[in-house]
A and B are shown apart, each in its own frame.
Chain A
């Protein structure tokens, strides 16, 4: 556009251009205003998302004839594990073809197998192998360790042993925790390691150890190992929180490794003088009875010293009267 000579409005836009300019700025401001109003109506107090739709319980139907608990003595940890499952009806009873199975040993501490702070690696490998033999699609072996996880997984020997027989060993990747409503009495919204949330079967594979607060740490205490977040608070209501977690998971099977037992200075140990070689494995479909039995057999602790057993029985998770269970005791030569 060339300005005309002697035109007083040479410095002003013509009407058409001015209108276009006005429309442009009006449009932009209307857009900004509209967006601002829309956003102001969507203001909600920020809150972390909580997952609710998670699988609750992994039990299989009870059998009227098979033993409910198996106590096996013997020299070879992997044979013990194999026999224990066999007595309860074989792995085929617990794991179906195509199942995704999560095996939860205790891999909590930066210790070697001899120090007996983590589950015996041979027991883990034997259980993994049996799951795969009956056609499990995937077997995940994992734990949320207390000590530095990579060291725990390596030095416990569990990662290597489980991977050798074909398990998927999962380190507790900090980016894979989900906020979940566990719907317990004291444990409600909590961070849970993702693999625990969507598997078909869960096998609890703890090791029996001494513990300063409760006297012994057995099967149910192992569920602390699926949590992230500030789980160091749970000790404040240890019995209630144990029951909440056990109620949430309801494992398919619990096998307590009593091959080597840490009798003092648990749950970390370290000193071989505190380790007793008991060469025993106890398996059961009843997570309460198995804890009650081992506490009694090794530490002579009754139900009174472990109030969580009573709470768990009240919650319908099992019975602490292990004497009433159909029990198979066997010694392998």
Chain B
């Protein structure tokens, strides 16, 4: 039996890892189990696997936190082999790379004949990614996780779970709804079967909604569309992980050997080149650019190209310009001071900057969070949303709790389970402390404090019974308490109603009251971040933290 062609093997590997990636992403959702009554709910699969394999995330995390968060050690599985053999990860494993590979190999008017060959030659602008990497490394060193804006997994997970999957869910639900409400019983039956099949893996229990979804989706589409002009433009010019892997593979012992005596300058090796690393004759091979896709070896009609260990031929390196490296470093160093010298970092923190339970203090949070959106994807109440302005420019796409959309579920800690970097530190439901025995003495994790807008509250302003907020308040004793009051309604009648008050020493800031308030558009009770347990300064009460 003969082994399949190496390029075939590569394709299988890409399909395998892409499938694992998508499956894990779809599993990043609490689907519930009717067969299990375990009271502690955790996701059964290591859904953050690809983040843990990502050396760039580990590097950023190590620089920002001077340590590696649980699981990030796995990145050695990628890093060490890359040192020996080069960027096999980009060509064989990376799911975003595989998507680019696919779109890059579609026919395009912009890449025909000569143009295609030319577009696949090494270009000076491919060094851009190294400068981006330099800037993000310095930025990470100075304490920010913004590398997540362009880390390939953060980018992919964020785009898919905040835009592509919710849109797919909406479209599918609508289509299934049409089928299932058809007048023909046959079509209804087909709809029912399709619903069952897609419901078990793809569909969400509730339609997820994400603000900025359209922008995240458009950015994703734009990056994909770049492939129609230049194959894998993202991988060649932007991806900081590719840059990192390119640099560490500088001394790799595997290399492409060109046999000049075989070469007749047909240039076919350029046809399907992924990295733009010049496998052609007459110029040196750009080793750090190569994704080890093996297309050139496959394509060469004269068998003039082959990969071998310890090649003697001279290769070109990363080809960096000192001036641009310094510019990159300077830009990275300037980013933090520029982004942080805003009032948001002084006393005027945004009142609605409600972070998920377990989050570390804002400064550490911004340095660890890679804006990947895993927490937002997993939140069963769709409560976590990508920040737009709440956390400043630097905090763009970091998670914030939006109680009107969803409150923080009492016993749920899934966001802290999936966070790959410890921005949301892993906690248990018991440590969260929202529904435990008071005698346990556990200090609850607080996200903020609720306040009443008495001008909009029914028993306060409209002589009407309500107190849904008190009903929903999950702490025990309840943070919202009631006092009977006599009020006079519009007709002049004296009425007895119960008016709600808030005890800030008990409130955990979950937002259930705000979520349940019947004043739909601007609730009469709302949560702001003051009193959040992660912050020492953002407090109201002198002694609540001791309580």
Interface residues of A (CB under 8 A from B): 110-112, 115, 121, 146-151, 153-157, 159-161, 163, 169, 171, 173-175, 211-213, 230, 232-233, 235-238, 264-265, 267-274
Contact = CB atoms under 8 A, between A and B. Distances in A.
Contacts of A150: 30-32, 205, 380
A171 B37 contact: no
Nearest to A211: B471
With a 10 A CB-CB cut-off, give which of A110, A149, A267, A269 has the most chain B CB atoms: A110
Contact of B465 (A155, A238, A265, A269): A238
Contacts of A112: 39
Contacts of A237: 465
Interface stretch (B276-284, B355-363, B409-417): B409-417
A181 B32 CA distance: 32
Contacts of A173: 205
A156 B173 CA distance: 29
A160 B34 CA distance: 5
Contact of B173 (A154, A155, A175): A175
A159 B518 CA distance: 29
B183 interface: no
Contacts of B458: 236
B516 interface: yes
A173 B195 CA distance: 12
A237 B495 CA distance: 13
A236 B520 contact: no
A271 B34 contact: no
Interface string B435-455: 111110000000000000000
A161 B437 CA distance: 25
Interface string B467-486: 11011111111100010000
B35 A148 contact: no
B41 interface: yes
Interface string B32-56: 1111111101000000000000000
Given A115-B435, A151-B411, A212 B34 contact: no
B156 interface: no
Given A160-B36, A232-B517, A236-B466, A265 B477 contact: yes
B28 to A, nearest CB: 15
A151 B475 contact: no
Contacts of A269: 476
A155 B474 contact: no
Interface string B70-97: 0000000000000000000000000000
With a 10 A CB-CB cut-off, give which of A148, A149, A159, A233 has the most chain B CB atoms: A148
Size bracket, chain B contacts: 35 or more
With a 10 A CB-CB cut-off, give which of A112, A271, A272 has the most chain B CB atoms: A271
Nearest to A176: B180
Interface residue SS majority, chain B: loop
B380 to A, nearest CB: 5
A154 B32 contact: yes
A110 B410 contact: yes
Given A151-B409, A175-B177, A270-B434, 18 more contacts: A110-B412, A146-B516, A150-B205, A151-B411, A154-B34, A154-B38, A157-B37, A159-B35, A171-B32, A212-B470, A212-B478, A213-B470, A232-B468, A236-B458, A265-B478, A267-B471, A268-B471, A273-B438
B464 interface: yes
A271 B444 CA distance: 14
Nearest to B40: A155
B198 interface: no
A220 B468 CA distance: 17
A77 to B, nearest CB: 15
A172 B347 CA distance: 44
Contacts of B33: 154
Contacts of B37: 121, 154-157, 159-161
B207 interface: yes
Interface of B: 30-39, 41, 173, 177, 205-207, 380-381, 409-412, 434-439, 458, 464-468, 470-478, 482, 498, 516-518, 520
Nearest to B464: A236
B327 to A, nearest CB: 49
A212 B467 contact: yes
Nearest to B406: A148
A294 to B, nearest CB: 19
B471 A236 contact: no
Nearest to A114: B39
Contacts of A270: 410, 434-436, 474-476
A110 B409 contact: yes
Nearest to B382: A148
B41 A154 contact: yes
B471 A212 contact: yes
A58 to B, nearest CB: 25
Given A151-B41, A236-B458, A169 B34 contact: yes
Contact of B412 (A148, A268, A273): A148
Contact of A273 (B205, B207, B411, B437): B437
A147 B207 CA distance: 16
A181 to B, nearest CB: 20
A155 B411 contact: yes
A163 B434 contact: no
With a 10 A CB-CB cut-off, give which of B36, B37, B173 has the most chain A CB atoms: B37
Nearest to A146: B472
B409 A232 contact: no
Contacts of B30: 150-151
A221 to B, nearest CB: 10
With a 10 A CB-CB cut-off, give which of A111, A157, A161, A232 has the most chain B CB atoms: A232
B376 to A, nearest CB: 15
A147 B409 CA distance: 7
A230 B518 contact: yes
5 contacts: A154-B36, A173-B205, A211-B471, A213-B498, A265-B477
A270 B474 CA distance: 7
B409 A235 contact: no
Contacts of B411: 110, 151, 155
A233 B381 contact: no
A191 to B, nearest CB: 15
A230 B410 contact: no
Contacts of B34: 153-154, 159-160, 163, 169, 171
A301 B367 CA distance: 56
B56 to A, nearest CB: 34
B518 A232 contact: yes
Contacts of A153: 32, 34
The 3 A-B residue pairs whose C-beta atoms are closest, nearest first, are A150-B32, A271-B476, A270-B435
A111 B33 CA distance: 15
Given A268-B473, A270-B475, A147 B410 contact: yes
A61 to B, nearest CB: 35
Given A150-B31, A160-B35, A212-B482, A236 B465 contact: yes
Contacts of B380: 148, 150-151
With a 10 A CB-CB cut-off, give which of B36, B438, B458, B471 has the most chain A CB atoms: B471
A330 to B, nearest CB: 30
Nearest to B482: A212
A305 to B, nearest CB: 12
A153 to B, nearest CB: 6
B477 to A, nearest CB: 6
B438 A151 contact: no
Contacts of B36: 154, 160
Contacts of B205: 149-150, 171, 173-174
Nearest to B478: A265
A235 B474 CA distance: 18
A235 B468 CA distance: 7
Nearest to B199: A173
